[in-house]
Amino acid sequence: MLPAGARLTRRDEFASTIRRGRRAGRARLVVHLDTTPNPVLGPRAGFVVSKAVGNAVVRHRVARRLRHLVADRLATLPAGALLVVRALPPAATATSSELAADLDSGLRKATR
């Protein structure tokens, strides 16, 4: 689980990260990473799982899996980095290992 201080909660943080951050698209998700914000704070992450992914049960399952995967990788991000992970419709039927592979690949590309 992500601690409260490691979560993106405000709309403007999501919008600026998506607008200014580096983007890496994969089959099941898109990673947006912005490394320019305040380096004093720790990295923070947020998730976008739209209705296109599925009904509420499916969306929450995908979001839980992504939160768990990002929590393990948060310490590897630069200080102050903002991360937004947007799930695509194929994420609904993906296994956790497939989501992890897409997340790792997206993070590698976005941090280059």
Q: In this structure, what CATH number is given to the domain that contains residue 104? A: 3.30.230.10
Residues 6+ away with beta carbon under 8 Å from 31: 23, 24, 25, 83, 84, 85, 86, 103, 106, 107, 109, 110
73 inside domain: yes
CA torsion, ordered 93, 16, 74, 76, to nearest 10 deg: 120
Backbone angles phi, psi at 63, to 5 degrees: -65, -40
* Contact criterion met (CB below 8 Å) for 63 and 47: yes
Amino acid at 55: N
pLDDT tens across 25-84, in order? 999 999 999 988 676 788 999 999 999 999 999 999 999 999 999 999 998 998 889 999
**What pLDDT, on the 0 to 100 scale, is given for residue 20?**
92
36 inside domain: yes
12 inside domain: no
**What pLDDT, on the 0 to 100 scale, is given for residue 5?**
85
**What pLDDT, on the 0 to 100 scale, is given for residue 43?**
92
Give the domain extent around 52: 22-111
Domain count, the chain: 1
pLDDT greater than 90 at residue 89: yes
57 inside domain: yes
pTM above 0.75, yes or no: yes
76 inside domain: yes
48 inside domain: yes
